[in-house]
A and B are shown apart, each in its own frame.
Chain A
Amino acid sequence: MLYRAHVLVCNGTNCSLKASPEIQKEFSRLLPEYGLDKEVKVVETGCFGLCEYGPTVVVFPDGTFYSGVKVSDVREIVSEHLYKGRVVKRLLYQVPPAAKPVQVYPEVDYFRHQVRVVLRNCGFIDPESIEEYIARGGYQALGKALTAMTPAQVVEEIKASGLRGRGGAGFPTGLKWQFAARADGSGPKYVVCNADEGEPGTFKDRLILEGDPHAVLEGMALAGYAVGAHQGYVYIRGEYVLSIERLERAIAQAREMGLLGKNILGSGFDFDVEIRLGAGAYVCGEETALFESLEGGRGEPRIKPPYPTDAGLFGRPTVINNVETLANVPVIIERGASWFRTLGTQKTPGTKVFTLTGDIVNAGLIEVPMGITLREIIYNIGGGIPNGRQFKLAQTGGTSGGVIPPELLDVPMDYDSLAAHGSALGSGALLIIDDSHCIVDVAKSFSFFFLHESCGKCTPCREGTLQLHRIMERISRGEATRTDLENMKALAQAMYVAPLCPLGQTAPLPLMSTFRWFESEYLAHVVGKTCPAGVCPVDGTAARAAAGCAAREV
């Protein structure tokens, strides 16, 4: 059936929390009242991206972009826009309030500067409909690979694309697949999708899975074909209820259509996917701890080598890729490695999905070419710092990453450039912090996070995260001495090299990184016994902070 117009209601987690399901119901209730139910279709989509101003509703074919919609606004959109053809101006995106309202979404700065490859379908299709995914070219790549490419050619194509792991480490995906493809084939191999997104401030994988689950499944099937695996697992955080629901539905639909299961598309290739839920431990995002947990054990990292491509899940060769990495795969196979290389930088082709949060006007999910500068993200897409405040720092790569001070705003955002400055691209968290915050208070919340998430297996991490946090607490309370700073540095040196897994190895990174760029602010606490931002309880009184993590004593 053909429709005159489509109303896309964002049902990503962020908008859902602001009653978007009720908005959708209200549309469905009101459309018949206006006799429009045969002409206008309401589509529940995944995340559209501009979470700060959700719930968002987009009306096609014109692309009118409504933000901050409430249930009570729906009648007006139906009666005015859909019935009479008049755009409801008061609901258009208008940031800052004094700015000119923007009518259609491609003109919103937030979207104008983005390049959507991974998020190509997010916000545009009903993620619960495999037909809509197929209509947008979905499963073309799988069909192409199964009928026209050898597994080795698939590996080669991914290698040629230069795709690097989007979970944070940036390891070349094609190389990983090649190792797994060449590994011992006397028993089963596995493909695991790492959807244990645990980095604070990161929710890209959640929104990708909510918005376009089939892209990830197709990527997994392609990986399976490339390396000779017939079973895939999605290890996903148990809290991601909506992602899980949509994945389950997507798997069922794909099986029904013969796109998963036995003899896919009549090619003789078998591949199926099962979901396994994580129980909320940060370290289970580390691949070997993830395997332990997936196998039913306590989520603790294993020693490497052996690497997963030799002995991963159940001791068998395993490809483990991040959600975003896998979502890139079908497009690369469909459009080719050379197309992919036109995006991003030479060393890191493609795009990167970030979750932009903190003291920023347009918080939300964005996708940009690799190598874009932080300045462009903050000021062109993010709309700058609100409330007339100044940019103080950005935390990239989540708690395991590092700090970008104002001096580095023009550093290209890619794995190597950020690493060169002691930070990390990581999984795509971008936390923007303005000058109202104290660096010690910020760093203390990082140290608390690591203390809380250390699994306890190895000594330096189990004991060291506690001691780092205690030192941060003393600095914050104005009780620390220069000896504490020296101890912190010595401990950090040991923790860079001695722990078993990256969790412990990166635990001192945010502290050392903040110390490096904001040493004087640390010294103000330690020597001057003052908190320049007026946040820390240096004089013994609980000043402005002591809220949230800072209040929790250990």
Chain B
Amino acid sequence: MTMNSCQPSLVALTVDGREVSVPAGTTVFEAARAAGIEIPHLCHHPWLKPTGACRLCVVEIKGARGLPTACTTPVAPGMVVQTESERVVEARREILDLILANHAAECLTCEKAGDCRLQDYAYRYGVARTSYHGERRQYPPDESNPFFYRYHDRCIMCGRCIRVCDEVMAVNAIDYAYRGFRTKVATAYEVGLEESPCVFCGNCVAVCPTGALQPKLSVGQGRRWEIHKVRTVCPYCGVGCSLDLEVRDGERPRVVGVSGGDGPTNEGLLCVKGRFGWDFLHSPDRLTRPLIREGDGFREASWDEALDLVARRLGEIREKHGPHSLAGLCSAKCTNEENYLFQKLVRAVWGTNNVDHCARLCHASSVVGLGMAYGSGAMTNSLADLEQATLYFVIGSNTTEGHPVLSLRVKRGLRAGAKLIVADPRRTELAERADIFLQHLPGTDVALLGAMIHVILEEGLENREFVAARTEGIDELRASVAALTPEYAERVTGVPADLIQQAAREYARAERAAILYAMGITQHTTGTDNVLAIAALAAVCGQVGREGTGVNPLRGQNNVQGACDMGGLPNVLPGYQSYRDGGLRRKFEEAWGPPLPTGDGLTVVEMMEAAAQGRIRGMYIMGENPMLSDPDLGHVEEALRSLDFLVVQDIFLTETARLAHVVLPAAAFAEKEGTFTNTERRVQLLRRAVPPPGEALADWEIICRLAERMGYPMSYAGPAEIMDEVTRLVPSYGGMGYAYLGEGGKQWPCPQPGHPGTPILHREKFARGRARLFPLEFRPPAEVPDTEYPLYLTTGRILFHYHTGSMTRRARGLQAIRPDPYVEIHPDTAAGLGITDGQMVEVASRRGSIRLRALVTDRTAPAVVFIPFHYAEAAANVLTNPALDPQARIPELKVCAVRVRPA
């Protein structure tokens, strides 16, 4: 046999008499595993570097001094290893004996019993109790944070929690305190976790081998043998982490816990929302029966009554005012199948294109801008691929809070030596780690990005070969950025010219540079221009179409990508197929039956405007909460109240549902099947773990029942059959039938069954052929500060809440840790206004005012205040400006002018 020279050299050794060959550099632990032998271990964990602390994995190696630990010892040729020799077993017994001498062996009541490594090994080696006397280490349990307990008397000091906090999270909230026997795991100065840098991801809880770390929500809810796990997808954010819902069966099966699924998106890791934010499922506020308006309140009704009413009223409006007097909002939180059916109902049954959803409020600019520039409006690369980058340029994305698990990829890249450029009006967590931090004023992105392109072209740093072979429009671009000098950009953005130059050079020269952006780029009246500028920057430098590069819009919601893919947009049919293309339209007409509408539908903000003007008279809103998510809420409320008929389908009585005539109770993510498409275009299966509460139904079932009542039978055995229909109509989903998705899902385009999916777009050529470089021109935001409203307001997400808070604010832990709204104000600005930290203030814009507490912090720039938009009681969107980007029709949620004063 000839050895392939590319293969790493193999080392042959013997483990317990079994011959095994492993690549050089493998540890004895891994070699034994390869031979099918699992060596007992407590401190070792696949996520973590070997540390050799617990010493339980000691083995006997012929000729070696002492008993080396398998986890830290590299293999050597001819090594003879014994993993269970008499000496080894004796040592393991002694170590277990010693551990038990300082462990509260309360297995009878411990949550972890049955799932505890220490218990397993004590059983295996017959160590029933310790042979040592004397008092144990006594530290009281730490119960101070809302998410988990730390029982020091069950801690065995393996250090997994400390290392995951360091090596994986790069948070370093905890470490060992004290020394020797008095060692304990603690924060610096032993402050509570809430005052530490802890982000409550709970990955420490996940790796704890004993019962020392326990999620509060799961205490008393049943032990390992009483639960089973259901693999599904997290309902928060666009990363699409794989989740294992822990379900306890019984009369009413309940979710009692969550653990990270070992999927390709998250590899077992989770953030605080995914791990501790699931208890909204069993909230007493869940809608369980249909509600029909009666006066100022609601009365419960049967499904038949409610759906008959909805079908009748919508039918009447259509009859009287025409199909375009109806509009529907589908949902970035619902499944692909549900969004597909929803837009099918709107188009095929109602006969209008008035369907949109909150993608309009987040990445409409990406869909339009990247579509124009590259031919496809999605993340070009993959999550795993991000780790290959040698430079990250993060602009308008607070990745650590908005996409926590994705940010870990960036941190892993940084640890491997990658550089980081961050551009943001706020000093975000990533900005703190950045090599170059560009703190530009809100709404000045084109000036900043244009100046970078200016520097690159002027200094000849562009990738000429790439520009010549794969782009068009360089001359127009060059001419347009001639005026966007770094000095000009400094005046507009507030960022020193030399920093802009440095950033441009670093980005252009990087071997593999990945751009990550989010709503800081898109939610502007210049959102499309911002995206075009990013697309041009990447294309000019040839930083696209390869591993570790790309233009990566980070989608905000769990299925915002899928809702767009499924045609939940007023201008395209599923799969971004234009109804203006007769052939494509006919394909759908043949499949669906009725002739399809050909005129452009209205977007979210336009629907509200039309409703206020009486052009839209009936609306069907599925799983969206415009009463909190849309700009200028005063106007939204006016619009919704002026409707003849509003039906809202949700899991809670949201701010929007309160205005409805009929409210339909829907199933949450854990209660139904379907697929979500994450930010990297990955379609993943959602599985049903528990039944919906009361009479609540999955959204797809409700749509089917309604369609039937409106004269269009929709009959599907289940979501799988709906997806089959999608695969026939949407080419990029051609291979997404459930049978072909597999555990980790697939990334579109996936044109036929068996296709592996597409991790990186635009490899050989761009989706539209050549990348189009559009000329850039800086336009200021629609509203800028003046003497009356002297400050910029920018809005966004925080780690602990999600979107309009309908779920997270009903999750006990998340609500407990960030119960109240606040406005971030720079210390200098606060001092000038006579505002101190924690004081109640009034923030007012031309459209309204809210009262909330001031958080004085230099995370924000002196000219800028920041308000998270999750809180209904002080809704940031009362203040925001509904001015629209002319192409993407996205409102300028990220910039408006406000004044702040003590309240």
Contact B95–A454 (Cβ < 8 Å)? no
Q: Which residues of the partner chain A approach B182 to less than 8 Å between Cβ atoms?
A: 456
Q: Tell me the residues in window 465-498 of chain A with beta carbons closer than 8 Å to chain B beta carbons.
A: 465-467, 470, 487, 490-491, 493-494, 496-498
Q: Is A459 an interface residue (CB 8 A)?
A: yes
Q: Tell me the residues in window 135-187 of chain B with beta carbons closer than 8 Å to chain A beta carbons.
A: 156-157, 159, 175-176, 178-183
Q: Bound state CA distance, A410 and B94, in angstroms?
A: 38
- Could you mark each residue 382-398 of chain A with 1 if its beta carbon is under 8 Å from any beta carbon of chain B, else 0? 00000000000000000
Contact A460–B95 (Cβ < 8 Å)? yes
A494 and B180 contact, Cβ closer than 8 Å, known pairs A456-B157, A457-B53: no
Q: Which residues of the partner chain B approach A466 to less than 8 Å between Cβ atoms?
A: 101, 134, 180-181
Q: Bound state CA distance, A459 and B56, in angstroms?
A: 9
Among A298, A462, A500, A505: residue with most chain B CB under 10 A: A462
Q: Bound state CA distance, A109 and B773, in angstroms?
A: 92
Q: Tell me the residues in window 22-54 of chain B with beta carbons closer than 8 Å to chain A beta carbons.
A: 50-54
Q: Is A538 an interface residue (CB 8 A)?
A: no
Q: Which residues of the partner chain B approach A490 to less than 8 Å between Cβ atoms?
A: 90, 94
Q: Which residues of the partner chain B approach A462 to less than 8 Å between Cβ atoms?
A: 157, 180-181, 183
Q: Is B72 an interface residue (CB 8 A)?
A: yes
Q: Is A162 an interface residue (CB 8 A)?
A: no
Smallest distance from the beta carbon of A479 to chain B beta carbons, Å? 10
Contact B94–A498 (Cβ < 8 Å)? yes
- Count residues of A near B (Cβ-Cβ below 8 Å): 34
Smallest distance from the beta carbon of A185 to chain B beta carbons, Å? 19
Q: Tell me the residues in window 41-94 of chain B with beta carbons closer than 8 Å to chain A beta carbons.
A: 50-56, 58, 66-67, 69, 72, 74, 87, 90-91, 94
Kindly identify which residue among B50, B51, B133 contacts A470, using a CB–CB cutoff of 8 Å.
Answer: B133
Contact B55–A459 (Cβ < 8 Å)? yes
Among B51, B58, B180: residue with most chain A CB under 10 A: B180
Contact A499–B55 (Cβ < 8 Å)? yes
Smallest distance from the beta carbon of A115 to chain B beta carbons, Å? 34
Q: Is B99 an interface residue (CB 8 A)?
A: yes
Q: Bound state CA distance, A455 and B183, in angstroms?
A: 8
Q: Is A54 an interface residue (CB 8 A)?
A: no
Contact A298–B176 (Cβ < 8 Å)? yes
Q: Bound state CA distance, A453 and B69, in angstroms?
A: 23
Kindly identify which residue among B72, B91, B181 contacts A554, using a CB–CB cutoff of 8 Å.
Answer: B181
Q: Is B109 an interface residue (CB 8 A)?
A: no
Contact A455–B95 (Cβ < 8 Å)? no
Q: Which residues of the partner chain A approach B67 to less than 8 Å between Cβ atoms?
A: 497-498
Contact B178–A500 (Cβ < 8 Å)? no
Contact A458–B54 (Cβ < 8 Å)? yes
Contact B94–A491 (Cβ < 8 Å)? yes
Q: Is A463 an interface residue (CB 8 A)?
A: yes
Q: Bound state CA distance, A108 and B799, in angstroms?
A: 76
Contact B98–A303 (Cβ < 8 Å)? no
Contact A498–B95 (Cβ < 8 Å)? yes
Q: Is B102 an interface residue (CB 8 A)?
A: yes
- Could you mark each residue 540-554 of chain A with 1 if its beta carbon is under 8 Å from any beta carbon of chain B, else 0? 000000000000001
Q: Is A451 an interface residue (CB 8 A)?
A: yes
Q: How large is the interface on B (under 10, 10 to 19, 20 to 34, 35 or more residues)?
A: 35 or more
Smallest distance from the beta carbon of A76 to chain B beta carbons, Å? 51
Q: Bound state CA distance, A499 and B69, in angstroms?
A: 9
Kindly identify which residue among B55, B90, B181 contacts A458, using a CB–CB cutoff of 8 Å.
Answer: B55
Q: Is B189 an interface residue (CB 8 A)?
A: no
Which B-chain residue is minimally distant from A454 (CB atoms)? Answer: B180
Kindly identify which residue among B50, B51, B98, B176 contacts A456, using a CB–CB cutoff of 8 Å.
Answer: B176
Q: Which residues of the partner chain B approach A464 to less than 8 Å between Cβ atoms?
A: 98
Contact A497–B98 (Cβ < 8 Å)? no
Contact A303–B50 (Cβ < 8 Å)? yes
Q: Is B225 an interface residue (CB 8 A)?
A: no
Which B-chain residue is minimally distant from A499 (CB atoms)? Answer: B55
Q: Is A281 an interface residue (CB 8 A)?
A: yes
- Could you mark each residue 202-218 of chain B with 1 if its beta carbon is under 8 Å from any beta carbon of chain A, else 0? 00000000000000000
Q: Tell me the residues in window 425-473 of chain A with beta carbons closer than 8 Å to chain B beta carbons.
A: 451-460, 462-467, 470
Q: Is B123 an interface residue (CB 8 A)?
A: no
Contact B66–A456 (Cβ < 8 Å)? no
Q: Bound state CA distance, A281 and B72, in angstroms?
A: 25
Which A-chain residue is minimally distant from B156 (CB atoms)? Answer: A459
Q: Which residues of the partner chain A approach B101 to less than 8 Å between Cβ atoms?
A: 463, 466-467
A494 and B90 contact, Cβ closer than 8 Å, known pairs A458-B55, A459-B99, A467-B98: yes
- Could you mark each residue 239-283 of chain A with 1 if its beta carbon is under 8 Å from any beta carbon of chain B, else 0? 000000000000000000000000000000000000000000100
Contact B95–A451 (Cβ < 8 Å)? no
Contact B66–A505 (Cβ < 8 Å)? yes
A281 and B179 contact, Cβ closer than 8 Å, known pairs A460-B95, A497-B67, A498-B95: yes
Contact B133–A456 (Cβ < 8 Å)? no
Contact B58–A497 (Cβ < 8 Å)? yes
Q: Which residues of the partner chain B approach A459 to less than 8 Å between Cβ atoms?
A: 53-56, 95, 98-99, 156-157
A497 and B91 contact, Cβ closer than 8 Å, known pairs A459-B53, A505-B66: yes
A497 and B66 contact, Cβ closer than 8 Å, known pairs A456-B157, A458-B53, A467-B101: yes
Smallest distance from the beta carbon of B59 to chain A beta carbons, Å? 11
Contact A451–B99 (Cβ < 8 Å)? no
Q: Bound state CA distance, A453 and B72, in angstroms?
A: 24
Contact A457–B99 (Cβ < 8 Å)? no
Q: Is B131 an interface residue (CB 8 A)?
A: yes
Contact A498–B91 (Cβ < 8 Å)? yes
Contact B95–A470 (Cβ < 8 Å)? no
Smallest distance from the beta carbon of B105 to chain A beta carbons, Å? 14
Q: Bound state CA distance, A281 and B53, in angstroms?
A: 18
Contact B55–A500 (Cβ < 8 Å)? yes
Which A-chain residue is minimally distant from B98 (CB atoms)? Answer: A463
Contact A456–B95 (Cβ < 8 Å)? no
Contact A458–B52 (Cβ < 8 Å)? yes
Q: Tell me the residues in window 347-394 of chain A with beta carbons closer than 8 Å to chain B beta carbons.
A: none
Q: Which residues of the partner chain B approach A494 to less than 8 Å between Cβ atoms?
A: 90-91, 94-95
Contact B52–A456 (Cβ < 8 Å)? no
Q: Bound state CA distance, A497 and B91, in angstroms?
A: 8
Q: Is A35 an interface residue (CB 8 A)?
A: no
Q: Which residues of the partner chain A approach B183 to less than 8 Å between Cβ atoms?
A: 455-456, 462
Which A-chain residue is minimally distant from B51 (CB atoms)? Answer: A303
Smallest distance from the beta carbon of A200 to chain B beta carbons, Å? 16
Which B-chain residue is minimally distant from A457 (CB atoms)? Answer: B53
Smallest distance from the beta carbon of A464 to chain B beta carbons, Å? 6
Q: Which residues of the partner chain B approach A300 to less than 8 Å between Cβ atoms?
A: 176
Smallest distance from the beta carbon of A86 to chain B beta carbons, Å? 57
Smallest distance from the beta carbon of A333 to chain B beta carbons, Å? 33
Contact B55–A498 (Cβ < 8 Å)? yes
Q: Bound state CA distance, A362 and B102, in angstroms?
A: 46
Among A453, A456, A460, A465: residue with most chain B CB under 10 A: A456
Q: Bound state CA distance, A453 and B183, in angstroms?
A: 11
Contact B99–A463 (Cβ < 8 Å)? yes
- Could you mark each residue 298-332 of chain A with 1 if its beta carbon is under 8 Å from any beta carbon of chain B, else 0? 10100101000000000000000000000000000
Smallest distance from the beta carbon of A280 to chain B beta carbons, Å? 10
Smallest distance from the beta carbon of A290 to chain B beta carbons, Å? 15
Q: Which residues of the partner chain B approach A487 to less than 8 Å between Cβ atoms?
A: 131-132
Contact B180–A470 (Cβ < 8 Å)? no
Smallest distance from the beta carbon of B881 to chain A beta carbons, Å? 48
A454 and B179 contact, Cβ closer than 8 Å, known pairs A497-B67, A498-B94: yes
Smallest distance from the beta carbon of B541 to chain A beta carbons, Å? 28
Smallest distance from the beta carbon of A236 to chain B beta carbons, Å? 20
Kindly identify which residue among A456, A463, A497, A498 contacts B178, using a CB–CB cutoff of 8 Å.
Answer: A456
A460 and B51 contact, Cβ closer than 8 Å, known pairs A298-B176, A465-B181: no
Q: Bound state CA distance, A456 and B159, in angstroms?
A: 11
A to B CB contacts below 8 Å, 13 in the list: A456-B157, A456-B179, A459-B156, A463-B98, A465-B181, A467-B98, A467-B134, A491-B94, A493-B90, A497-B58, A498-B67, A498-B94, A500-B69
| Pairs A-B, 5 closest by C-beta atoms | A456-B183, A494-B94, A463-B98, A454-B180, A497-B66
Given A457-B176, A487-B132, 11 more A-B residue pairs with CB atoms under 8 Å apart are: A303-B50, A303-B51, A454-B179, A456-B180, A462-B183, A465-B181, A466-B134, A467-B132, A470-B134, A497-B58, A497-B87
